[in-house]
Amino acid sequence: MEAVLAQTTGFFQERPADRRLAAAFASVWVHRMQDRDAPPVVITPDATIDLQWIDGRFRVAGPDREPQIETLPSGSTIVGLRFRPGAAAGWLGVPANRIVGERLDLGDLWGERARHLADRIHATPDLAGMVRQLEEAIGAHTLEHRASDTVMGHAFDLIDQGRQPTSRWCRTCCAPCI
């Protein structure tokens, strides 16, 4: 069976992260694989790091230097939270270079803390309810673990918005100076 681009098979939807997650995460996405004969998928490098919920476990994916091919069970659902640029290392508590090109169980990085976080999520056939549970659990953790590089976060926000900076940045509070 030939591999296909990940977002071209099954159901994929992405939206901006809500305010509880916005300090560390840019978006939340859901990818539900086809119910039958799901092909292997190609994950193309996009310089992002994702926290993923797959089959009752958290894993950390990327950033990738080269395409990755993954085979996921037919009918499986992956809920992903895409880290904001510069936020993953502070939130995860490990340098980003440790996870380049990797797919790591969060337990490998956090030990028991990962299990405690996963225990807050309860199986439900309702996808929207599952995403809400994940957002609440991750949001509570995120409030305690802000992005460590706020200056870079502001720089990436400017790039995303397509605007040129109009003022200089204050080195004290990381906000535009007037």
Model confidence over 2-60: pLDDT tens digits?
Answer: 766 777 778 899 999 988 898 899 999 999 988 888 888 889 999 999 999 998 899 99
Res 38: pLDDT: 83
Say whether pLDDT at 175 is over 50. no
Domain ranges of the chain: 4-147, 148-178
Peptide bond into 73 cis (omega under 30): no
Euclidean distance between the first and the last CA atom of the chain, given in angstroms as a whole number: 59
What is the amino acid identity at position 42? V
Give the position of tokens 């992002």: 48
Whole-angstrom Cα Rg for the chain? 17
Compute the mean pLDDT over every residue in the chain, rounded to the nearest whole number. Answer: 83
Res 149: pLDDT: 56
pLDDT (tens digit per residue) in 124-148: 888 899 999 999 999 988 876 555 5
Mean pLDDT value across residues 157-169: 59
- Residue 134, judged by CB atoms within 10 A of its CB (0-12, 13-18, 19+), counts as buried
Say whether pLDDT at 174 is over 70. no
pLDDT (tens digit per residue) in 75-86: 889 999 999 988
* Element of type H or E holding 31: strand 25-32
Quick one: how many helices (H) and strands (E) in the chain?
5, 9
pTM of the complete model: 0.80
Say whether pLDDT at 112 is over 90. yes
- What percent of the chain shows pLDDT beyond 90? 42
Token pair belonging to 92:
């995860």
Token pair belonging to 124:
């439900």
Say whether pLDDT at 1 is over 70. no
